[in-house]
């Protein structure tokens, strides 16, 4: 049988990993929110129909940002040009690709104040979703800890201590989400 600390430790390591995953997922979501600057993160996960299969663009093309508002996409296979162009047109980027026969250029216009505010709302919503995910992980961990106490594997004092530690871990991850959100907001509102 495992000793009490390792049972609690197992719950905590699982909980921390899941909370960290929620935070890193949010970072990925934030990268896909446009800030007025060209970045490959905006298109690299777009699905492109390539020989009958939907593949992420990053698998069939290279990206280059020669200037802050220009993204150049170079397909590894020239026959994929039209499919890449179509994927960009069908996306919610709102940018018209220009195709010169060998590369696709995306020119990012400066964002309007209204569009910036919309992106801030989207970022706040995604931040809230991440916080909910972290709290759901906390609830599951608390349930696991209470089950350990009910089964007699840990004492009520150990449960209380573990719940305080759980609150601290949760608070730290929520604070990290707030920090990421604040940074993204500043990035979006900077003209």
pTM over 0.85: no
Can you list the domains of the chain with their CATH numbers? 4-32+113-189 (1.10.132.20), 40-107 (3.30.1360.40)
User: 39: which 2 tokens?
Assistant: 């970045």
Q: How far apart are the first and last CA of the chain?
A: 60
Between 21 and 5, residue with greater pLDDT: 21
pLDDT-based confidence at residue 2 (cuts at 50, 70, 90):
very low
The C-alpha atoms of residue 143 and residue 141 are separated, in whole angstroms, by: 5
Q: What is the mean predicted confidence (pLDDT) over 163-185?
A: 95
Residue (of 170, 169, 155) closest to 7 by Cα position = 155
Q: Is residue 166's pLDDT more than 90?
A: yes
Query: What is the DSSP code string of 171-184?
Result: HHHHHHHHHHHHHH
**From the DSSP assignment, how many helices (H) and strands (E) are in the chain?**
4, 6
**pLDDT value, residue 54:** 92
pLDDT greater than 50 at residue 1: no
Residues in the chain: 191
Average pLDDT over residues 171-187: 94
Please tell me the predicted confidence (pLDDT) of residue 7.
85
Predicted confidence (pLDDT) at residue 76 exceeds the cutoff of 50? yes
pLDDT (0 to 100) of residue 116 = 85
- The predicted-structure confidence for 84-132, as pLDDT tens digits, reads as follows 999 988 887 778 899 898 999 998 888 788 888 888 998 999 999 999 9
């Amino acid at each position: 049988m495992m000793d009490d600390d390792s049972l609690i430790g197992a719950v905590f390591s699982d909980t921390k990993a899941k909370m960290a995953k929620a935070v890193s997922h949010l970072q990925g979501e934030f990268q896909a929110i446009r800030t007025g600057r060209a970045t490959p993160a905006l298109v690299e996960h777009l699905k492109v129909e390539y020989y009958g299969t939907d593949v992420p663009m990053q698998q069939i093309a290279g990206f280059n940002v020669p200037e802050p508002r220009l993204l150049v996409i170079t397909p590894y296979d020239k026959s994929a040009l039209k499919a890449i162009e179509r994927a960009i047109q069908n996306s919610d980027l709102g940018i018209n690709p220009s195709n010169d026969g060998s590369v696709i250029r995306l020119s990012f216009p400066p964002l309007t104040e209204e569009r910036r505010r919309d992106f801030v709302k989207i970022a706040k919503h995604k931040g809230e979703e991440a916080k909910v995910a972290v709290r759901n992980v906390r609830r599951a961990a608390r349930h696991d800890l209470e089950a350990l106490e009910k089964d007699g594997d840990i004492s009520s004092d150990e449960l209380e201590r573990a719940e305080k530690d759980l609150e601290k871990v949760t608070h730290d991850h929520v604070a990290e989400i707030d920090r990421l959100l604040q940074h993204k907001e500043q990035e979006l509102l900077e003209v």
